Structures are given as structure tokens and as C-alpha cells.
């Protein structure tokens, strides 16, 4: 059974700062193009919204079995290059 994303007032308010909707994060989590572990039991999910927006979602699994959404934001240039590699799409220049 796939883990679920945990939400509370703090992380909902935090993602609003990046103009990302909860539904977009849930979609990326369900169908990531790429994911990788990072420091402190965190995992990053890289994906594309239905509108084509490239988003990175950072989750923690430190104190629970499911994933707590720590942050979600537009991808950095380096993260976009990773995404393009896994999508087999040529790297775009900015």
C-alpha cells in the first residue's frame, strides 16, 4: 500500500507561498517522473503538473510512516536537468 501525504495548517500555508495547489502536489506524488532520497530521512519528488509546471516536492518520513510535505516549489535549473534526463527530453536552456 502506497504511503499517503500528511497535511496540516503549517504545510498548507507554506505551499501557498509558492502558488502550488495541494492537488498538484498529490498528482506529482502519485506519478513522479523521478524521486530521490536526501538528507534527514527526506525524499524529493520531481514532476510535472497537468499544466506543464515543473515542481519539486520535499517530504519527510522522520516521525511517521506516511510522508509529511515539507515544501513544494518550482524546480531549480539543476533539478530541471535531472527531470529532462529521466523524461528523455533534451535539456532546455534558460
Residue 51 pLDDT grade (very low, low, confident, very high; cuts 50, 70, 90): confident
pTM: 0.84
Mean pLDDT of 39-68: 89
Return mean pLDDT, the chain: 87
4-8, 20-24, 77-81, 89-93: lowest mean pLDDT where?
89-93
Residue 93 pLDDT grade (very low, low, confident, very high; cuts 50, 70, 90): very low
Q: Who's near 55: CB < 8 A, 6+ residues apart?
A: 20, 24, 25, 28, 46, 47, 48, 49, 72, 73, 74, 75
User: Is the model's pLDDT at 90 over the cut of 70?
Assistant: no
Amino acid at each position: 500500500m502506497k504511503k499517503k501525504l500528511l497535511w496540516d495548517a503549517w504545510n498548507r500555508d507554506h505551499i501557498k507561498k509558492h502558488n502550488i495547489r495541494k492537488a498538484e502536489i498529490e498528482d506529482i506524488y502519485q506519478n513522479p517522473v523521478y524521486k530521490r532520497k536526501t538528507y534527514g530521512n527526506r525524499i524529493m519528488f520531481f514532476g510535472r503538473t497537468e499544466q506543464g509546471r515543473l515542481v519539486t516536492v520535499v517530504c519527510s518520513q522522520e516521525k511517521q510512516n506516511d510522508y509529511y510535505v515539507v515544501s513544494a516549489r518550482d524546480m531549480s535549473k539543476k533539478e530541471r536537468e535531472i527531470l529532462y534526463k529521466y523524461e528523455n527530453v533534451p535539456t532546455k536552456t534558460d
